[in-house]
Amino acid sequence: MEKPAQPAIIDLLVCTRCRRGEPAESEAPRPGSILAHALATRSLPAGVRLREVECLSNCSAGCTIVLRAPDRWSYVYGGFDPEADVETILEGTAKYAASADGFVPWRERPEHFRRNCVARIPPLEVSDV
């Protein structure tokens, strides 16, 4: 008997190094870390795993997140406010999780996601060779 396929784990990556233009020498917690902490205190959509990463190389437009999963499009979004945009990130993540292939139609995305998409990356195709 064949086992049903398990739903893929969706990664919500959050750059913890994002500074949003703050001075590098600042001892205060970085906005990216504040955002990661705020998301960690919330209920994420089913199947979504929060992962903190050191740098997503979008420093001038941080805070930055990535949504990715096997066999789905991956998206990089930037320009988040670590205190004001948590609900927006949760909404966008839920829509991504509900999609079959990671593609959420443009008009259905939260406004911030429409205007602050840094990159869209196609699913990795594995060769049969």
Taking only the tens place, the pLDDT of each residue in 36-91 is 999 999 999 999 999 999 999 988 887 999 999 999 999 999 999 999 999 999 99
Which letter does DSSP use for residue 61 in this model? G
Range 74-77 contact pairs with CB under 8 angstroms and sequence separation of 24 or more: 74/102, 74/120, 74/121, 74/123, 75/102, 75/113, 75/117, 75/119, 75/120, 75/121, 76/117, 76/118, 76/119, 76/120, 76/121, 77/112, 77/113, 77/116, 77/117, 77/118
Q: How confident is the model at residue 20 (pLDDT cuts 50, 70, 90)?
A: confident
17 φ/ψ sector (left φ>0, alpha ψ -120 to 50, else beta): alpha
Share of the chain above pLDDT 90, in %: 74
Q: pTM of the entire structure?
A: 0.88
126 has a pLDDT exceeding 70: no
